[in-house]
Chain A
């Protein structure tokens, strides 16, 4: 692979990513509610299944 080609393509992409008008910037972060939902769901599953599978 040609290093110059690679560097040129990398620079083209970085310029696009840094240009706020290009629409190529980072995606919006995961909504906090999604994370809360995942963690709460996991805690509920853990408590319930520990009781069912281990203590009952």
Chain B
């Protein structure tokens, strides 16, 4: 999901001829930040988090939840699911990066080794960002196609080639904005975030002018499995997975907070509360209008004029979300990529990041209509990752890292493990991912029998954390690897 990091620095974040600007701005690279660079207190980090949460994917999330459950169960599942996952990402990576001021993939070197952390960085910053960008670009295509159909009487279908080319245009526009660096990213977000708050509140008001609470709660889910408990647990899982998707972005935001409390609690106010409100509005709209596609809500709710304006705005908001997310991913890739990527220009990196999304937009139905599966593909990695990171940092290392060893070459670092990989963390993460897949098939989205008692993300988290603990104490630490006896 997206991140709005532009306020985290006063410096320009694009290319510089000699790199001097970027070196002085540690929020652009993997350098540990100093106290004077920590600029966010509780309220400023909260406002950034609110801007992150109030984005178009909150509507997608609400629409997806409405597939499985009605309004009351949806509210419960959203609060529970987001509550669990936001707590996990507030602990790891936010507290780790917040306490030490280190880039979040640098912090992972202690658990996974430098090469393990680098592979995770590529998987999350590149692959997940590409997939999210494609979803948002296709949503942009849907929105513009619907505006065209409404205004000009065209008959552009949601799975047609026109949507793909409009989505491609969104990717190209995003690349142009992204290439201009932080200034443009900050500008578009300052404009769009308040607008989306207005659209969200306006939608809520319009829903309740057309539908009463009792009518809303009586509307059945859009396409449930039919087992009430299983559908509720699927909704909870969907929201846990949706919240875990914040992991790749929030760590590098909390890195520049002024205290660990400021790194932790704004996640509850921003990511949790704002996401919950927006997703619940999405559920209500989906149930009231009988469609999980947010681009089909605006005109029936707001009428031809207001609806088209809102739809065009939501379409635009998708572009800004792609830009924000792309920006955050680029910072991570450039920082975590080390020497190899430090010299590559911002514009070229941005093109490389968005290229897979430009291909994916030509499969609009496969990408856009499988939101729940798509979110679970992220959770299959992120849930075990959180388990490993939390156990490694808070239990095995008792909340202490040696910052110098995070930056030493792998042959000299206590965190070098074997060839830059910690086999315990890799095996534990793989076991967690396997646990997830056995409980909820990420391809078919078919749950197994045990799923309805425990979800998939939580067992994946627990298995990975427990296995990492056992393997570390049983194998890694006795062999003198991992720096578990190092002090700060």
Q: Does B83 contact A45, Cβ atoms closer than 8 Å? A: yes
Interchain CA distance A3-B30 in the complex, whole Å: 13
From residue B31, how far is it (CB to closest CB) to chain A in Å? 6
Q: Does B343 contact A29, Cβ atoms closer than 8 Å? A: no
What string of 1s and 0s marks CB contacts (under 8 Å) between A5-40 and chain B? 110011001101110000111111111001100110
Q: Does A53 contact B75, Cβ atoms closer than 8 Å? A: yes
Q: Which residue of B lies closest to A25 (CB)?
A: B488
Residues in B whose Cβ lies below 8 Å from that of A26: 99-101, 401, 403, 488
Interchain CA distance A10-B30 in the complex, whole Å: 9
Q: Does A1 contact B342, Cβ atoms closer than 8 Å? A: yes
- Contact-size category for B: 35 or more
Residues in A whose Cβ lies below 8 Å from that of B24: 9
With A30-B264, A45-B83, A53-B72 as contacts: A9 and B77 at CB distance below 8 Å: no
Interchain CA distance A26-B260 in the complex, whole Å: 10
**How many contacts A-B (CB < 8 Å)?**
106
For residues 263 through 319 of chain B, which have their beta carbon under 8 Å from a beta carbon of chain A? 263-265, 268
Interchain CA distance A7-B204 in the complex, whole Å: 53
From residue B286, how far is it (CB to closest CB) to chain A in Å? 16
8 Å CB contact of B95 from A9, A30, A56: A30
Interchain CA distance A30-B72 in the complex, whole Å: 34
Q: Does A27 contact B99, Cβ atoms closer than 8 Å? A: yes
With A2-B18, A14-B403, A46-B83 as contacts: A52 and B72 at CB distance below 8 Å: yes
Does chain A have a CB within 8 A of B19? yes
Report whether over half of chain B's contact residues are helix, strand or loop; otherwise say mixed.
helix
Interchain CA distance A5-B229 in the complex, whole Å: 59
Residues in A whose Cβ lies below 8 Å from that of B396: none
Q: Does A46 contact B80, Cβ atoms closer than 8 Å? A: yes
With A1-B342, A6-B23 as contacts: A17 and B83 at CB distance below 8 Å: no
Q: Does A1 contact B268, Cβ atoms closer than 8 Å? A: no
Interchain CA distance A1-B335 in the complex, whole Å: 12
Interchain CA distance A53-B76 in the complex, whole Å: 5
Residues in A whose Cβ lies below 8 Å from that of B98: 27
8 Å CB contact of A10 from B31, B228, B268: B31
Residues in A whose Cβ lies below 8 Å from that of B202: none
With A14-B32, A24-B35 as contacts: A49 and B100 at CB distance below 8 Å: no
Can you report 27 residue pairs joining A to B where beta carbons are below 8 Å apart?
A2-B19, A5-B19, A5-B20, A6-B31, A9-B23, A10-B31, A13-B31, A14-B404, A16-B34, A24-B34, A27-B99, A27-B101, A28-B260, A30-B260, A31-B261, A34-B265, A42-B83, A42-B84, A45-B79, A45-B83, A46-B83, A46-B84, A49-B75, A50-B76, A53-B72, A53-B75, A54-B228
User: Interface on B for A, CB 8 Å cutoff?
Assistant: 18-20, 22-24, 26, 29, 31-32, 34-35, 72-77, 79-80, 83-84, 87, 90-91, 95, 98-101, 228-229, 232, 259-261, 263-265, 268, 339, 342-343, 399, 401, 403-404, 407, 488
